[in-house]
C-alpha cells in the first residue's frame, strides 16, 4: 500500500534533450552540385544544337518574335551605355594622352581598335544579359513554377525545341545587330572627343579607318554571336530549372545574370588571347 501511494506522486520532471547539431555541409557536396549543374548546362547546349539541325523547324517564327522583342528592349540602353563609356574612357582619358604627346588625331586608333575588340561587345553583352536575358529567365521560370512546362511536356511538346532553342537563337541575332549600332555611336562619341581636344574630324576618321580592319571586324562578329549564344543558353537554363515560387524565380534571375557575366568574361579573355596569338599583327596599334 505504501508503495502504491508513492507511485501516485507527481511524475519526475525530465530534462529536455539537446537537439543534435546539424551536420556541416561538406565541400565536396558543393563541388558535386556545381559539376552537376555544369554538366546539365552542357547537355542543354548539345540539345539546342540538335534541335537547330533536325526537323521540324516550325519554331523559327518564335525566334524572330523573340529577337524583335529583345532588340527593342536592348537598343536604347545599349547605345546610351556604349556612348557614355566610349566618350569617357577612350575619349576623354585617351585624349589626355594623345594631346599631351601632340597627336590628338590618334584618338581614332583608340576607338577603332578598342571598340571592335573590347568595350563595345563587352558593354553590349552586359546590357543584353541584364535586359533580355533576365526577361527570358523570368518568363521560363514563371512557366516552370506554374507547372506550364510540365503540362506542355505531358502534351508531347518539346520544351527545348519550341521554347529554349528559339530564345537562344534570338539573342544570337540580337547581339551582332546591337553591337553594330554600338560601333556607330562609338564613332560619334570619338568625334565629340576629338572636337573636345580641338582636333580635326578628318584626322580622326583617317586614323579610325586605319585601325578598323576586316580581321578585327570578323573577330567582332564571331565574338558577339557567341556572346548571344552564352547569354541565351545560361538564362534559359536557369529559367527552366527554377523552383520555389516567385522567390525562386527571382533567385534564378539573379543567378542567371551572374553566370552570364562570368561566362562572357571568361570567353572574352580566352577569345582575345587566341585571336591575338593567331594574328600577331593585331597586338599593336597601327
Question: Per-10-residue mean pLDDT for the chain, 286 residues long?
Answer: 47 48 57 81 90 85 91 92 86 72 72 83 93 94 90 88 93 94 89 80 77 82 95 94 89 93 92 84 62
Number of domains within the chain: 1
Domain-located, residue 125: yes
d(CA 125, CA 169): 15
Separation of alpha carbons 69 and 66, rounded Å: 5
Q: What global pTM score does this model have? A: 0.83
What pLDDT is stored for residue 6 in this prediction? 47
C-alpha cell at 182: 554600338
CB atoms within 10 A of CB 11: 5
Residue 65 lies in a domain: yes
Q: Look at residue 133 and tell me if it is in a domain.
A: yes
Please give the pLDDT value at position 1.
46
**pLDDT for residue 106:** 72
What CA–CA distance (Å, rounded) separates 150 from 152?
Answer: 5
In a domain, 286, yes or no: no
Q: Which pLDDT value is given to residue 214?
A: 80
Cell readout for 228 is 548571344
CA angle 66, 252, 160 (to 5 degrees): 45
The answer to whether position 12 is within a domain reads no
What's residue 28's pLDDT? 59
Segments forming the whole domain that contains residue 136? 58-269
- For residue 261 the three cell numbers come to 557575366
What local confidence, expressed as pLDDT, does residue 39 receive? 86
> If DSSP codes are grouped into helix, strand and coil, which group holds residue 10?
coil
- 1 located within any domain: no
What pLDDT score was predicted for residue 212? 73
Please list the alpha-helical segments (H only) found in the chain.
2-7, 27-53, 60-86, 94-100, 107-114, 120-128, 134-145, 148-154, 159, 165-196, 201-211, 214-240, 245-278
Residue 90 lies in a domain: yes
Other CB atoms within a 10 A radius of the CB of residue 151 amount to: 11
Supply 244's cell numbers: 520555389
Instruction: Give the per-residue pLDDT at 27.
Output: 54
Q: Which is nearest to 137 in space by CA: 247, 241, 43?
A: 241
| CA angle, 169 then 180 then 275, to 5° | 80
| Residue 154 counted as domain residue | yes
On whether the CB atoms of residues 73 and 132 are closer than 8 A, the answer is yes
Amino acid at each position: 500500500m505504501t508503495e502504491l501511494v508513492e507511485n501516485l506522486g507527481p511524475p519526475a520532471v525530465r530534462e529536455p534533450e539537446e537537439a543534435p547539431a546539424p551536420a556541416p555541409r561538406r565541400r565536396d557536396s558543393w563541388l558535386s552540385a556545381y559539376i552537376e549543374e555544369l554538366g546539365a548546362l552542357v547537355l542543354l547546349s548539345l540539345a539546342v544544337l540538335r534541335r537547330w539541325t533536325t526537323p521540324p523547324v516550325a519554331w523559327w517564327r518564335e525566334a524572330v518574335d523573340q529577337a524583335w522583342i529583345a532588340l527593342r528592349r536592348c537598343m536604347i540602353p545599349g547605345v546610351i551605355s556604349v556612348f557614355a563609356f566610349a566618350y569617357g574612357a577612350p575619349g576623354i582619358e585617351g585624349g589626355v594622352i594623345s594631346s599631351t604627346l601632340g597627336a590628338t588625331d590618334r584618338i581614332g586608333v583608340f576607338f577603332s581598335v578598342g571598340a571592335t575588340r573590347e568595350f563595345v561587345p563587352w558593354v553590349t553583352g552586359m546590357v543584353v544579359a541584364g535586359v533580355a536575358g533576365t526577361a527570358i529567365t523570368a518568363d521560363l521560370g514563371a512557366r516552370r513554377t506554374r507547372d506550364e512546362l510540365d503540362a506542355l511536356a505531358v502534351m508531347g511538346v518539346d520544351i527545348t525545341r519550341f521554347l529554349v532553342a528559339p530564345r537562344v537563337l534570338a539573342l544570337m541575332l540580337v547581339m551582332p545587330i546591337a553591337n553594330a549600332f554600338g560601333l556607330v555611336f562609338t564613332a560619334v562619341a570619338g568625334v565629340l572627343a576629338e572636337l573636345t581636344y580641338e582636333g580635326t574630324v578628318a584626322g580622326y576618321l583617317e586614323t579610325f579607318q586605319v585601325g578598323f580592319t576586316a580581321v578585327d571586324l570578323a573577330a567582332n562578329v564571331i565574338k558577339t554571336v557567341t556572346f548571344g549564344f552564352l547569354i541565351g543558353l545560361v538564362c534559359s537554363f536557369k529559367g527552366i530549372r527554377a523552383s520555389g515560387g516567385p522567390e525562386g524565380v527571382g533567385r534564378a534571375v539573379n543567378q542567371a545574370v551572374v553566370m552570364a557575366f562570368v561566362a562572357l568574361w571568361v570567353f572574352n579573355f580566352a577569345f582575345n588571347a587566341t585571336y591575338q596569338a593567331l594574328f600577331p599583327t593585331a597586338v599593336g596599334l597601327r
